[in-house]
């Protein structure tokens, strides 16, 4: 049975959500404070800390732009436990890490540590946080992403985190094509992590649309997930417009009755008074 549970990430040494409101969020990454758009923040801010921002991101004439307020590096590094991640102010307002995933990173770490040298597949792996957490916990990770830039960034983060070279293999590929080939190879993984965008393009221009392709992808990954007790599955979602219940029912429709959780991902503000909803997830363990 999948039980509903909100996952709330609280601040840690190198990250905090200082405030949110008026369609924006104010976050500290290490020593750098950023003001970024956030559609979920329909309320009013409750602090005057916004003047402390090092940079602010906005859209002008359909183009995204960072406005530098104080001197700040183009790249800098933060830590979460043993993981180090290099951050950068990208043209798409992202910085290379999704802090709300900390609750899932802890869960991945715990599941991997219960297994003996498990193999883990991370699809749409982006800059590698989940892959690094799994590898540091003892997994052999296959990290798949169609973006060479993201793969290079993930590899750099793994090096910063002292992940052994054999801990992660990096595959530049379209996720759908990769899993189809793995099924033909009778591959099996004790852990599968999916973090699909609403829309994307594969290595050779293949179009990914979550509304058309997610069901097929989950069905295919079912064939790759090991039957070994303790094997785990995690599906994340962001700005696709779906509810956590929709993801839950998709996973139940493919895998049948499983034991785990589903719900929303949140980040707690430093004040402790509010949380910022940031996405949805489903996860289970065999």
Residues 6+ apart with CB under 8 A from 91: 64
**Are 20 and 105 found together in one domain?**
no
CA–CA distances in Å: residue 271 to residues 18, 19, 151, 275: 8, 8, 36, 10
Any idea what the Cα angle at residue 128 is, between residues 127 and 130, rounded to 5°?
135
**Are 154 and 32 found together in one domain?**
no
Instruction: Note the pLDDT of residue 208.
Output: 72
Any idea what the Cα angle at residue 147 is, between residues 142 and 148, rounded to 5°?
85
CATH number at residue 263: 3.40.50.150
CATH number at residue 53: 2.60.40.1180
Instruction: Note the pLDDT of residue 191.
Output: 98
pTM summary value: 0.95
**Are 143 and 262 found together in one domain?**
yes
Q: Residues 275-286: what's their mean pLDDT?
A: 97
CA–CA distances in Å: residue 75 to residues 30, 72, 89: 11, 9, 8
The average confidence (pLDDT) of the chain is 95
Instruction: Note the pLDDT of residue 199.
Output: 65
**Are 190 and 139 found together in one domain?**
yes
- Express as a percent the part of the chain with pLDDT over 70: 99
**Are 208 and 277 found together in one domain?**
yes
Rounded Cα–Cα distance for residues 75 and 176 (Å): 32
**Are 255 and 143 found together in one domain?**
yes
Neighbours of 37 (CB within 10 A): 15
> If you ran DSSP here, which 8-state letter would residue 170 be given?
E
Instruction: Note the pLDDT of residue 238.
Output: 85
- Of 94-108, 183-197, 207-221, give the lowest mean pLDDT range: 207-221
What are the beta bridge partners of residue 193? 122, 234
Instruction: Note the pLDDT of residue 190.
Output: 98
Structurally, how many domains does the chain consist of?
2
**Are 175 and 203 found together in one domain?**
yes
Q: What is the pLDDT of residues 55-94, one digit of tens each?
A: 999 987 778 899 999 988 999 999 999 999 999 999 889 9
DSSP code string of 13-69: TTEEEEEEETTEEEEEETTEEEEEE-TT--S----SGGGG-SEEEEEETTEEEEEE-
Domain that holds residue 69: 11-74
Nearest to 149 by CA among 127, 132, 171: 127
Tokens found for residue 16: 């905090």
Q: Residues 262-282: what's their mean pLDDT?
A: 96
Identify the residue with better confidence: 200 or 154. Answer: 154
Tokens found for residue 37: 């758009």
Instruction: Note the pLDDT of residue 267.
Output: 98
**Are 70 and 105 found together in one domain?**
no
Rounded Cα–Cα distance for residues 198 and 266 (Å): 19
Instruction: Note the pLDDT of residue 239.
Output: 62
Q: Residues 154-168: what's their mean pLDDT?
A: 97
**Are 166 and 43 found together in one domain?**
no
């Amino acid at each position: 049975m999948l039980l509903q549970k909100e996952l709330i990430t609280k601040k840690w040494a190198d990250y905090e959500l200082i405030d949110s409101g008026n369609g924006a969020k104010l976050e500290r990454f290490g020593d750098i404070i950023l003001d970024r758009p956030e559609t979920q923040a329909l309320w009013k801010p409750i602090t005057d800390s916004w003047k402390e921002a090092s940079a602010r991101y906005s859209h002008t004439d359909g183009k995204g732009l960072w406005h530098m307020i104080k001197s700040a590096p183009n790249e800098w590094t933060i830590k979460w436990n043993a993981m180090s991640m290099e951050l950068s102010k990208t043209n798409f307002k992202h910085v290379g890490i999704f802090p709300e995933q900390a609750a899932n990173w802890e869960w991945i770490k715990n599941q991997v540590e219960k297994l003996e040298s498990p193999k883990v597949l991370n699809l749409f792996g982006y800059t590698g946080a989940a892959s690094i957490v799994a590898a540091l916990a003892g997994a052999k990770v296959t990290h798949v992403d169609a973006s060479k830039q993201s793969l290079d960034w993930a590899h750099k983060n793994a090096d910063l985190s002292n992940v052994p070279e054999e801990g992660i293999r990096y595959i530049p590929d379209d996720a759908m094509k990769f899993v189809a080939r793995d099924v033909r190879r009778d591959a099996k993984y004790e852990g599968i992590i999916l973090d699909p965008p609403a829309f994307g393009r594969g290595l050779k221009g293949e179009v990914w649309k979550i509304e058309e392709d997610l069901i097929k992808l989950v069905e295919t990954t079912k064939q790759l997930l090991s039957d070994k007790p303790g094997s785990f599955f995690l599906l994340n979602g962001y700005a696709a417009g779906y509810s956590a219940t929709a993801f839950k029912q998709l996973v139940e429709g493919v895998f049948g009755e499983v034991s785990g959780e589903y719900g929303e991902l949140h980040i707690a503000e430093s004040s402790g008074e509010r949380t910022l909803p940031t996405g949805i997830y489903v996860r289970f363990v065999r």
